[in-house]
Amino acid sequence: MRIVLLLMLTVIGSISTLTAAPPKLILQITVDQLRGDLPQRFVDRMGDGGFRYLLNQGVVYKDAHHAHANTETIVGHVTLATGAHPAAHGMVGNVWFDRALGRLVYNVEDPRYPLISAAAAVDAKTEIDPTQKTAQASGRSPASIQVSTFSDELAILTAGRAKIFGVSVKDRGAISLAGHAGKAFWFSKAAGDFVSSRFYYREYPEWVNTWNASRPTQRYADQSWKLLNKQESYLYGDRDDESWEVNFPGYGRVFPHPFGAADGKYFTTLLTLSPVGDELTLSFAKALIENESIGTDDVTDYLSVSFSSTDYVGHFFGPSSLETEDNLLRLDRTIAALLKTVDDQVGLDNTLIVLSADHGSPEVPGYLNQLGIEAKTVDPKTWDRQPGIAALKKRFGVGQQLIRTYYHPYLYLNQDVIREHGLDPVEVQTAVASEVAKFDGVAVAVTSSALMTGQVPDTALTRMILNNHHARRSGDIYIVLDPHCFVNDFNGLKVASTHGSPWRYDTFVPLIFAGAGLKPKNVHRRIHTVDVATTLAAWLGAKPPSGAAGQVLSEVLIQQRN
């Protein structure tokens, strides 16, 4: 009798899931470089409507991680969007060397679709961003994403009726989650506007022109980023002037951080190096929600909002800094304001919210050293000049550069030299990897040939590297640096810290589902970010994205309401 009763309850539960009313809106919030422990660290001084609401009212996964080795912005965003590993979705790094083109490629560049603004087109090639190289083409599109996103599957499910948008300061933060079927907007530092490309529009909707014409950046002219509260109330209140922080010209490393005049060379760049970047993103997202009538009909809509300031502030000051602490307290207010706007127009009970991050963050080496923890930086530009590589050159009869370059996390060999000397590429890969693995600061050096032929040990680390390997885009040798060991020089700009490793401080991210009638629950089992898109698809009854590798999160689905 007990077995029969259990079977009946299972059937009833299945029917409940299948007949649940779909939400009017799926709101996906991604916070760039938000390590999983950071919201909880400062929640005691946060309000009720932002992180505290999500942590107290949501299904909170306490042990959520990315399962790929290169924890960079585009990699994490597209993984959240597709439920696929980089090996399938193709976005293996913020940049990669395209062997067919013979040049570096930026992840969302596409010359076929120029930006709808002359000033923004210039910005797309020259913007200051410590986490990327300069793009060669000013156009933008999602064409390099090789599988479908959840938002694509929503468009398919609703016969194109769902309204789908992505908004972020970063182009890659907006484009990735909007997918191929949605529309994306991002901030142009040169134009001081939110922009898009001709992949999405021939011309802007009038409300976009109106928002941009209001010149929202101007109200920050000759202003500064000041502390929200009294300095002594902060955990890091006595750490406002650390030697490892970036002393960017005119901005400094102590509060207040001045933005300068509106016509200053770095004015809009400095706005994004502060909570203002997120405030501008919020302002534009609120205008979009209202003017595009998001969540107001019987078709489920989708809005992705990616907040980028945490990443920029983290790179310049580190996660355990007064700047990061103040930025997160302000981000809490920004998220609360976004949720209030959604509640006013759609209702949080009609909205399924998911918050996560594209990656975590390491601590600054100088800070770790103060605590007695060994940490250091390395410079891959010196590797080709090391005695071990010189010996290999002699062995192979090569007088020229053998290591062409290093674009994180891949080392690229000089294929022209290998061809000219009739060398075996696999032999050269293996020999160089063996030598590089001996270098100070290098934990693992794995050749692409070994990854493709399965000649690697089955360990947690190599599985993460395999999840990141793409035959056409990955470099010749995958480099994993030691824990707490970093490359901190980006185009001559030395940052305080940088992410991109498979170590837990970089893979660990928050993951919270809330709204839509969900009841609060803390879950401590290990789950992965590829589970997000799969779970969203299951909630709506859509098919999983084409490359999805994740599992459905049962703690979310079991609560789906009638």
Task: Let me know if residue 338 belongs to a domain.
Answer: yes
Give the distance from CA 98 to its chain's centroid. Answer: 22
Kindly report, residue by residue over 341-350, the tens digit of the pLDDT. Answer: 999 999 999 9
CATH assignment at residue 390: 3.30.1360.150
Task: Let me know if residue 16 belongs to a domain.
Answer: no
Helix axes 150-157, 531-540, angle to 10 degrees: 10
From 266, 263, 238, 233, select the one nearest 252 (Cα to Cα).
266
Task: Let me know if residue 275 belongs to a domain.
Answer: yes
Kindly report, residue by residue over 219-259, the tens digit of the pLDDT. Answer: 999 999 999 999 999 999 999 999 999 999 999 999 999 99
Kindly report, residue by residue over 354-369, the tens digit of the pLDDT. Answer: 999 999 999 999 999 9
Check whether residue 324 and residue 196 sit in a common domain.
yes
Residue position matching structure tokens 């299945």: 14
Kindly report, residue by residue over 464-519, the tens digit of the pLDDT. Answer: 999 999 999 999 999 999 999 999 887 778 899 999 999 999 999 999 999 999 99
Check whether residue 253 and residue 393 sit in a common domain.
no
Check whether residue 387 and residue 355 sit in a common domain.
no
Task: Let me know if residue 552 belongs to a domain.
Answer: yes
Check whether residue 156 and residue 220 sit in a common domain.
yes
Check whether residue 400 and residue 361 sit in a common domain.
no
Q: What is the pLDDT of residue 362?
A: 97
Residue position matching structure tokens 């209030």: 340
Per DSSP, the three-state class of 106 is: strand
pLDDT at 117 over 90: no
What domain range is 231 assigned to? Answer: 22-368+503-557
Give the distance from CA 320 to its chain's centroid. Answer: 19
Check whether residue 347 and residue 316 sit in a common domain.
yes
Residue position matching structure tokens 């307290």: 329
Check whether residue 357 and residue 409 sit in a common domain.
no
Task: Let me know if residue 425 belongs to a domain.
Answer: yes
Kindly report, residue by residue over 372-397, the tens digit of the pLDDT. Answer: 999 999 999 999 999 999 999 999 99
Check whether residue 302 and residue 424 sit in a common domain.
no
Check whether residue 514 and residue 409 sit in a common domain.
no
Check whether residue 93 and residue 139 sit in a common domain.
yes
Query: Average pLDDT for residues 26-30, to the nearest whole number?
Result: 99
Q: What is the pLDDT of residue 10?
A: 45
Check whether residue 292 and residue 341 sit in a common domain.
yes
Tokens of 131: 């986490």
Task: Let me know if residue 464 belongs to a domain.
Answer: yes
Q: What is the pLDDT of residue 238?
A: 97
**pTM for this prediction:** 0.94
Say which DSSP state 292 is in.
T
Check whether residue 248 and residue 131 sit in a common domain.
yes
Task: Give the pLDDT band (50/70/90) at residue 21.
Answer: confident
123-137, 192-206, 283-297, 343-357: least confidently modelled range: 123-137
Task: Let me know if residue 550 belongs to a domain.
Answer: yes
Number of domains within the chain: 2
Tokens of 295: 């969540």
CATH assignment at residue 168: 3.40.720.10
Q: How far apart are CA 480 and CA 236, in angstroms?
A: 31
Query: Average pLDDT for residues 135-148, to the nearest whole number?
Result: 89
Task: Let me know if residue 252 belongs to a domain.
Answer: yes
